[in-house]
Structure formats: structure tokens, C-alpha cells
Structure 1
Amino acid sequence: MGATEGISHIGFHVVSFSARDEPRTAARAGRRRVRIMSATLYPSLPHPEPVAAPAARVALKDDGASRGLLDGAWWPRSRDLLSELAALIDVLDPLWGRITRVAVNPKYWPIIPRRVPVDGHIVRVGWFTSEIDPHKLLLLSYGAGRWDLLIIPPETGPDAAARLMAAASGRDGPLLTASALIAADARHGAAATGDEPLAPDEAWEYEGGASTLSAAVPPDDRRGRA
């Protein structure tokens, strides 16, 4: 009798356990089917390839060209100085040696970053309201020299930007300051539309000629200054 009760007792529990576990088993199987269907209906998308930032738009004087007042021109794409300087210095480092400091007039830049990370090193940025032309960027390379670039406003059209780049990076000039060059090109554009004639000296500069002042102004050897 004791054995019989033991068997019945065990049988009761076995039957009871199976009955109680059956809905759980069915639920797990259902969840597996849902997961399989989800994986079939919604496959994972491939990761997009990283897009390289566009290179800086810059025109530089050739080695041996007379320095004048500018060493070339830079045409940034925006007023975001942090990202624009990083792209510019990434181009200039292999050409001029590691750029360590930059100075700019804050007039046309809403935010001036104190430091700009560029390819494993930091470039320090300073700003001056009266010592630096608002349309000029000053760059220093420790032990290598100094360079001054015309800053072409980002909103400048491609034709005007091409003229300014050619004028700033020309072999014998220009003798104009950065702001004077920007103003002269604005008058050049107005003259092209028939609104205003160019002064003879300005026309001569844009046609590639050398001003009569060229012989009286010695070359500005910036590359020797730290």
C-alpha cells in the first residue's frame, strides 16, 4: 500500500508538472518563431562607409616668388573656424612644417576656438582686433617661419574667389592688403556689370602687371621669421 501510494504520488506530480509546463513550452516556441520571423523580415543594414571631409580650398605662392603682403589665399566653406582650420592645417603641415599657432581677427568669426586638434597635435589660436586685418589669417610654424593668407569670405562666388586666389598667390604681388584686395575685387565685380570703373592701378594689378611701387618695396622674407 505504501509502495502504491508512492507510485501514485510520484505519478501525480509528473502529470501535474507536465500540464503546468505545457503553456510555457508553447510560449517559448512561439517566441522563437517570432524572433526567426523578425530576423527574416527586418535584416540588419550594412554600416555606411565613413565620408572624408573635403580638402581645404587654398592657393599658395610658389617657392622663390616675391612675398609681397600675402603668401596665398584661403577660401573656407563656412564660418565654423574649428573645422575649417583643421582642414586647412591638415593641408599645410606637409608643405610648411607643423603649424603650431594661428592668429585671426574675430570680426567675421562668431566663435574663436582656443585650441584646434589636427592629426595628433594641438594648434593654439589667438585673436587680435586691431593688429590683424579682418580678411587675413596669420600662421606660425615653430622654427620654420610665418605665413599670411588672404581669407576669402565663404559666401564669395566661384568667379570672384578664383580672381582673389590668383591675385593673392601671384608671383609678383599683390602689394594690396587683404582687405584692400577684397574691396578692389568688389569694385572689379561692379565694373564687370557696368556699375563702376576700375582705377588704372587696380586694373593693372588684376591683369597680372607689376605696380611701379614693386621696385621700391623689398621682398618680405616671412619664411625666415619664427
Structure 2
Amino acid sequence: MTSVPQGSAPPEADPAEQPSRVHLKPATPTPGDQGHVDGAWWPRPRDLAAELPALFAALATRLGTIERMAYNLGERQPAPRRLATGTTRVTPGGFRYQAANTVDVIGSGSRRVTLLVEPPETSDATASNIALAAADARNIERVDSLLARVAGRNGMPRPRPPLE
């Protein structure tokens, strides 16, 4: 499992330099043999523009240059059509068909990761448990099952319904 520290940075810090709260399963040579998600991401606010630079930085080692990402339009505030991250511009896309509580991030060579997105209001302990379960190489559960299993054990609120 690869992880980024969960410490918090001062609010005035550059978002690209704040910990991204990303936990990934070990990379495998064959896509699709890791279950339904490749790990977990715990963003602080629901504002994608503020959170994406740190996420992309954390995923660059696995994916190379980040080119696109997809998120569930009903769960997040819309992101800008183009987002500059260092020397590249990423195209975030909000889609109604994107699986709930997930984001897909696509890098160079069409490499992709699907991450379970933990609600920002999740407690540190619960978020850590969810991330560890999602990033376990043996875990093949669906997102809703994983959130329900971990939520039931740790008292986490159920995933929020989509924004109206």
C-alpha cells in the first residue's frame, strides 16, 4: 500500500503542497485484478479545484502525467474545465454516470486509477480504516459495500446523497 501522510497543513498553505490523503493498492501488471477501487482519497472540502493539485501530485508516480479525471457531478462542486497543475493542464469532467463516491484519474498511456472518495466530514480514525481497507491488495468489495462495512463498524455517517 502506498499512502500520503494524513497530517494537516495550515489553511494558508498552497493546496498543491498539502497532504492529499491518498492511499493506493500496490500496482499490478494487469488492470482490473485489484477489485472495484485502486485505493481511497479523503479530500478536505468538496471544492475539487482546491483539492485536485495535491491528488494529482500524489498519483503522478503511478500514472505519469495526469491528463483527465472524472467525478460524479451530483456529489461535488463543478471543477473548472481546465486545471493547470505544474506544466500540464488537466481536464476534469463531471458526469452523472460516474459511480457514486468515486473518481477516475487517467494518466499518460491511458493508465487509470479509480479511487473511493471519502466524505470530507469523516473522522480521522474512520477515514484511516476506510483507506486501509480500500488500499488492501486483497480487497475486491464494491464501493457501497466497503463504505457500509467500515461505516457500520466505526459509526461513520452513511455516504451523502447527491447535491441537488
Q: Same fold (TM over 0.5)?
A: yes
Give the corresponding residue for 1:204: none
Task: Deviation per CA, 1:174-226: give whole Å up to 9, x if none.
Answer: 322x2332222222224x9xxxxxxxxxxxxxxxxxxxxxxxxxxxxxxxxxx
* Alignment partner, residue 151 of structure 1: 117
Residue 22 of structure 1: aligned partner: none
Task: Note if contact 1:137-1:150 (Cα within 8 Å) is conserved in structure 2.
Answer: yes
Q: Quick check: which one's helix share is greater?
A: 1
CA distance, structure 1, for counterparts of residue 13 and residue 104 of structure 2: 30
Q: Distance in 2 between matches of 1:140 and 1:95?
A: 10
CA distance in 1, matches of 2:13, 2:137: 36
Alpha-carbon distance in 2 for matches of 1:114, 1:156:
28
Q: Could you give the per-residue CA deviations for residues 23-63 of structure 1, whole angstroms, max 9, x where no partner exists?
A: xxxxxxxxxxxxxxxxxxxxxxxxxxx94531211001113
Aligned mates of 1:142, 1:51 — CA distance in 2: 28
**Residue 58 of structure 1 aligns with which residue?**
22
Conservation of the 8 A alpha-carbon contact between 1:167 and 1:174: no
1:76 aligns with 2:10: no
Matched, 1:124 2:88: no
Match of 1:38 in 2: none
Would you say the 8 A contact 2:41–2:118 is kept in 1? Answer: yes
**Is the counterpart of residue 112 in structure 1 residue 76 in structure 2?**
no
TM-score (norm 1): 0.57
Native 8 Å contact 1:97 1:144 kept in 2? no
Q: How does 1:132-151 map to 2 (within 5 A)?
A: 132-151=98-117
What CA deviation, in whole Å up to 9, does each residue of 1:57-91 have, x standing for no partner? 10011133941111010011111100201111022
Unaligned ranges ≥5, structure 1: 1-49, 193-226
2:132 corresponds, among 144, 166, 169, to: 166
Percent identity among equivalent residues?
A: 32
Which secondary structure does the structure 2 equivalent of 1:67 belong to? coil
Counterpart position of 2:57: 90
Conserved? CA contact 1:100–1:140, under 8 Å: yes
1:23-62 pair list within 5 angstroms = 51-52=13-14, 53-62=17-26
Q: Report deviation, 1:157.
A: 0.3
Q: Distance in 1 between matches of 2:44 and 2:94?
A: 20
Correspondence 1:179 to 2:112: no
Q: Distance in 1 between matches of 2:28 and 2:92?
A: 28
Contact 1:75–1:154 (CA under 8 A) maintained in structure 2: yes
Per the normalisation by structure 2, the TM-score is: 0.77
Q: Which one scores higher on RCO, CA 8 angstroms, separation ≥ 6?
A: 2
Structure 2 gaps of 5+ residues are: 1-11, 157-164
SS of 1:154's equivalent in the other structure is: coil
Could you tell me whether the CA contact under 8 Å between 2:71 and 2:94 is conserved in 1?
yes
Q: Give the RMSD, CA atoms, in angstroms.
A: 2.1
Q: Greater Rg, structure 1 or structure 2?
A: 1
Q: Which has the higher strand share?
A: 2
